[in-house]
Amino acid sequence: MMDLGVPNAQILLAAEQTIYMVFVSLALGTLLGMVMAVILVLTNENGILKNKYVYFILNTIVNIIRSVPFIILMVFILPLTKEIVGTRVGTTAALVPLVIFIAPYLTRLFENSLLEVDYGIVEAAQAMGASHFEVVWHFLLPEAKGSLILSITTGTIGLLGATAMAGVIGAGGVGDLALTYGYERLNFPLMLFTVIILVLFVQIIQSFGNYFAAKIRNH
């Protein structure tokens, strides 16, 4: 392997940190985002549990968080981070802002996916005597699955971009490696290498997403 000015072990560690941050926050963010998206879809004006107040409050929260750039959100919620994980710095500490950043983003994407489902499906479900939970679980989610997978793919890539900024609170990761060792040390080869790594990550994630979505949609 060519000399990049940093030990290979450090590069591996950075990749590991990035993968850890992306997937843990993705898992938590998906869970939260899904719950919020379902609530939005059920309570909106045409929803089966139409509720102006719940919809308005949740919708506003999502909009507010989404309008704060990640780097500002991250430093803004440092006290909260301290409360939750006991420290303000490090890879695990970065999970808190990452989850708070990605959950509303995924909420919007999931909401759109769920809204794409033909309303007739919901009606058929109701006509069968399905409970509200069953409407979501047996009808809405399976019908939106392909689209939801693409939403998760888009979210994952967004998350990858956000992790690069997590270096600010000492979270490490590939982005941090590029900034502190590549940019600040004027190490162009390392910079190029990390860019290639990130591009590869994105390609792999997108290809997986497309593959699974297509597999489901081709039925």
Partner 1 sequence: MIDFMDVSKQFTVKKQKVNALENVSLQIADGDIFGVIGFSGAGKSTLLRMVNALERPSSGRIEVNGLDINQLSFSKLRQVRKQIGMVFQQFNLLNSKSVYDNIAIPLRLNHMDEGKIEERVSELLAFVELTDKRNVYPTQLSGGQKQRVGIARALATNPSILLCDEATSALDPETTDSILRLLEKINREMNITILIVTHEIHVIQRICNKVAVMEQGKLVEHGSVLDVFCNPRQEMTKKFVKTVIADEIPESVIAVLKQDQRHHKIFSLRFLGEDVQENILCRINKTFAVETNIVFASVNELQHTVLGIFIVQFIGDEQQIQSAIDYVLKQSIECQEVTV
Does the footprint of partner 1 cover residue 121 (CB under 8 A)? yes
Query: Could you give the angle at the alpha carbon of 177 between the alpha carbons of 182 and 198, nearest 5°?
Result: 95
Judged on CB neighbours under 10 Å (0-12, 13-18, 19+), 203 is: exposed
Minimum CB–partner distance for residue 49 and partner 1 (Å): 11
* Residue list 125-154, contact with partner 1 (CB under 8 A): 126-131, 134, 138-139, 142-143, 145-146
Under the criterion CB under 8 A, does residue 82 sit at the interface with partner 1?
A: no
Are 66 and 103 in contact by the 8 Å Cβ rule? The answer is no
Pick the closer one to partner 1 by CB: 143 or 176: 143
In whole angstroms, what is the distance from residue 180 CA to residue 188 CA?
12
With respect to partner 1, which residue has the nearer C-beta, 111 or 143?
Answer: 143
Burial class (CB in 10 A: 0-12, 13-18, 19+), 129: exposed
Q: How far is the CB of 163 from partner 1 (least distance, A)?
A: 32
Contact 123, 52 (CB under 8 A): no
Taking CB under 8 A as the rule, does residue 83 contact partner 1?
no
> Applying CB under 8 A, does 124 fall inside the site for partner 1?
yes
Answer yes or no whether residue 200 interacts with partner 1 by CB under 8 A: no
Q: Nearest approach, Cβ of 216 to partner 1 (angstroms)?
A: 7
* Stretch of residues binding partner 1 (CB under 8 A), selected from 4-12, 88-96, 98-106, 122-130: 122-130
Query: What is the helix (H) or strand (E) element at residue 102, kind and residue range?
Result: helix 91-115
- CB of residue 157 to partner 1, shortest distance in Å: 24
Length of the chain: 219
Give backbone dihedrals phi and psi of 171, rounded to 5 degrees, phi first: -85, -10
Q: Enumerate binding residues for partner 1 (CB under 8 A).
A: 118, 120-121, 123-124, 126-131, 134, 138-139, 142-143, 145-146, 216, 219
